[in-house]
């Protein structure tokens, strides 16, 4: 069977939701990601957490946009962890969004969170 399965993706999304709701997440690469958050007009940790919470509640396994099997991270904080990427039309943000995260033991790392820039013909 091809990985990740629908069941595995559902579990990853639920775990991410749980960690974000508890404000228990970290940026994999703060230098890059602070810019992504600023582009979304998110300045405080509370604003970032709330936006991630909304995003995590909008994504479903059907929005999975990663590879099969999942790629591995090259970011130092979560090097070699499997990456789970999602692309969806966000009702809250009013545009297509992209969220990529990984889990290392019990730590959720946000690897990317931004407006999606993939041309429609490539989807």
Tens digits of residue pLDDT in 81-109 = 999 999 999 999 999 999 999 999 999 99
CA distance 12 to 10: 5
Q: Examine the pLDDT at 1 and tell me if it is beyond 80.
A: no
* Higher per-residue confidence, 122 vs 114: 114
Tokens of residue 43, six digits: 């300045």
- φ, ψ for residue 71 (rounded to 5)? -65, 165
The helix (run of H) or strand (run of E) holding residue 8 is helix 6-21
Domains and CATH numbers, the chain: 6-122 (3.30.2310.40)
CA distance 103 to 83: 8
Q: Examine the pLDDT at 17 and tell me if it is beyond 60.
A: yes
Q: pLDDT class for 14, splitting at 50, 70, 90? A: very high
pLDDT tens across 45-69, in order?
999 999 999 999 999 999 999 999 9
CA-derived radius of gyration, the chain? 13
96 within 8 A of 31, measured Cβ to Cβ:
no
Q: Which residues contact 61 (CB under 8 A, 6 or more apart)?
A: 6, 9, 10, 13
Q: Examine the pLDDT at 70 and tell me if it is beyond 90.
A: yes
């Amino acid at each position: 069977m091809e990985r990740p399965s629908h069941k595995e993706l559902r579990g990853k999304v639920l775990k991410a939701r749980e960690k974000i709701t508890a404000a228990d997440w970290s940026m994999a690469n703060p230098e890059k990601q602070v810019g992504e958050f600023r582009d979304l007009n998110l300045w405080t940790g509370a604003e970032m957490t709330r936006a991630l919470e909304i995003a995590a509640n909008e994504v479903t396994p059907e929005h999975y946009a990663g590879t099969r099997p999942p790629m591995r991270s090259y970011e130092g904080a979560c090097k070699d962890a499997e990456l789970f990427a999602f692309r969806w039309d966000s009702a809250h943000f009013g545009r297509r969004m992209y969220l990529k995260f990984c889990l290392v033991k019990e730590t959720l790392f946000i690897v990317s969170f931004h407006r999606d820039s993939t041309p429609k013909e490539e989807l």
